[in-house]
Amino acid sequence: MSSPPILPKSTSLSDIGNLSRRQRIASIGKVVFLAATLLAVAALAVLLWYIFQRGWGWLSWGLLTNPPSRKPEKAGLSIAISGTLWIISLTLLVAFPMGVASAIFLEEYAPKNRWTRLLQINISNLAGVPSVVYGLLGLGIFVQWLDLGRVVLAGALTMALLSLPVIIISSQEALKAIPWSLREAAYGVGATRWQVTASHVLPAAVPGILTGVILAVSRAIGETAPLLVAGAAGFVTSKPSGFMDSYTTIPIQLYNWMSRPQTEFRDLAAAGIIVLLVLLISMNLIAIIVRQRFSSRTRW
């Protein structure tokens, strides 16, 4: 039986055997990984460039102030913007307190047992349900069963349910980030659980919670499918003035324009996309600023 084929000991470091080939392959690998990352970035760049160059010419103040029209030159987003504002305000009003309250319950109050674990799993599952299914939920319950009809209230409640899991999860993260020692100190001087939470934990968690809510809202602004299903009407002629009015939103109006075959309407849609993107970028910037400004003040 021959002795095992062990790599021979050699005296020289420059006797590198197969290493040069391996290093060549390693360099190729590095380039490939970088290329993949840059490819994703390039896709983003192409998308943004395309939208801008297509829609730039159609940007005007009229886009923001005109109601929709059969003529693309005259059409605008005013009614859609109003609808979006109505929907989002009501969504926030409902989802923000409930979401934060649920997060507080899960993080500060609930014992760690099987039921709360189930609750947690339920919330993560809800976060993964497609938004169109929330639309069906809204259609079935708010529009039809509660017979609200295709009105702002029904749409807002639908979006509230959609945003709730996201707000809960991000608020929980914000609460978890607060070190236990803060709570310990407060309990140590005899505060009740609510006092600890309201006076110590919540104020410290506000930046994180706010950031999460702003991001959840910006996602909700861009959602089309759930409101399409739950009742934004096809052609709305006036801005909503109450919760029981019919409405349309920015993405739905854009969808409307995009679905028309005329090139002008598609150009107009591109311009509308720019408006939507500007709105979303502003909100994200606000979220980042909130996080920076408040977190620099917190000293543990």
Partner 1 sequence: MATEPRTGSGTQTDALPFFRPGGSYVDQKLLRRQHLTEKTVGYLLLACAIVSVLTTIGIVVVLLAQAVNFFADVSIVDFLTGTTWTALFQNQQQWGVLPLVSATLMVTLLSMLVAMPIGLMSAIFLSEYASPRTRAVLKPVLELLAGIPTIIYGFFALTFITPSILKVVWPQTSVYNVLAASIAVGIMIVPLIASLSEDAIRSVPSAMREGAYALGATKLEVSTRIIVPAALSGIVASFMLAASRAVGETMIVALAAGSKAQMVTNPLQPGETMTGYIVQVVSGDAARGSTIYYSLFAVGLLLFVMTLALNIFSHWFVRRFREEYE
Partner 2 sequence: MTQQLEQPLTQEAAGSSAAGQPLIDIRNLNVHYGNFKAVGDVTFEIATHRITALIGPSGCGKSTVLRSINRMNDLIPTARVEGEILFHGENILSSGVDPVMVRRRIGMVFQKPNPFPKSIYDNVAWGAKVNGIRKGMDELVEWCLRSAALWDEVKDKLDQSGLALSGGQQQRLCIARALANNPDVILMDEPCSALDPISTLRIEDLMRELAKNYTITIVTHNMQQAARVSDQTVFFSLGENRMGVLVESSPTRDIFTNPRDSRTEDYITGRFG
Write out the residues near partner 2 by the rule CB under 8 A.
1, 3-14, 16-19, 22-23
Q: In this complex, which beta carbon is closest to partner 2, that of residue 19 or of residue 35?
A: 19
The reply to whether 78 sits near partner 1 by the rule CB under 8 A is no
Q: What residue type is assigned to position 224 of the chain? A: T
Q: In this complex, which beta carbon is closest to partner 2, that of residue 22 or of residue 74?
A: 22
CB of 272 vs partner 1, minimal distance in Å: 10
The reply to whether 229 sits near partner 1 by the rule CB under 8 A is yes
The reply to whether 291 sits near partner 1 by the rule CB under 8 A is no
Return the residue matching tokens 């075959």. 261
Q: In this complex, which beta carbon is closest to partner 1, that of residue 102 or of residue 211?
A: 102
CB of 172 vs partner 1, minimal distance in Å: 11
Site for partner 1 in 87-106 (CB under 8 A): 97-99, 101-102, 104-106
CA separation (Å) from 5 to 13, 15, 97, 102? 20, 18, 70, 64
Give the integer Cα–Cα distance in Å for 272 and 64: 9
The encoded tokens of residue 166 equal 């996201």
What mask of x and - would describe binding to partner 1 in positions 133 to 172, judged by CB under 8 A?
xxxxx-xxx--x----------------x--xx--x----
Report which of 212, 227, 209, 211 is spatially closest to residue 84, judged by C-alpha positions: 227
Q: Is 201 helix (H, G, I), strand (E, B) or coil?
A: helix
Give the integer Cα–Cα distance in Å for 133 and 148: 19
Q: In this complex, which beta carbon is closest to partner 2, that of residue 12 or of residue 113?
A: 12
Q: In this complex, which beta carbon is closest to partner 2, that of residue 1 or of residue 189?
A: 1
The reply to whether 182 sits near partner 1 by the rule CB under 8 A is no
The reply to whether 217 sits near partner 1 by the rule CB under 8 A is no
The encoded tokens of residue 147 equal 């017979």
The two most distant CA atoms of the chain are separated, in Å, by 93
Report which of 80, 129, 104 is spatially closest to residue 234, judged by C-alpha positions: 80
